[in-house]
Amino acid sequence: MFDCSSLGIPKVVILDRDGVINHDSDAYIKSAEEWLPIPGSIEAIGRLCQAGYQVYIATNQSGIGRGYYGLTELQQMHDKMQQLLDEVGGNIAAIEFCPHGPDEGCHCRKPLAGMIENIEQHMGCSAHQVPLIGDSLRDLEAGLLRQCQPVLVKTGKGDKTLKKIINNELWAELPVYDNLSDVVDALLTGEFYASTNHAGA
């Protein structure tokens, strides 16, 4: 599968949802009313889209499999997100979600890479070196499986994740930012690619 950057199509970013775009909860986000964006995240996605990026989401939603909410409620959350994005010129190219619990043996639940593989099908090329922005270790691990460039934000579970991996050499050069808005600032100024040695990726 071709590397996206070699095809001259718009650049791509893959986002986790809970803890990156919206506030997370240990009790799960179960409705559109509970779905609340992290300050600056909606505007950040809008800026990416205005700069020619395609933005995809890959999100574990085991609350569906656990019976906490259904597909209707999930769609209502995503409709709310898109309505907010409409106001800032943003759009999500595709949303991949895994409804399964950790013991169901699926291929899509992160840290496995099934959702990223599906996103690659949408893109028509590989996610090689594409920034994958998450707040949990499983986000980062899923990104590595498809040779993405994992990026950690400190929102959501990000601070806890950073403490887990701080002494792990595997993640010694992991880009870490306070929030999605800061990642987007770095992407749009070129500082991100310069610091990760992926200029032009």
Query: What residues are annotated to the active site?
Result: 16, 18
Cβ atoms 95, 115 nearer than 8 A:
no
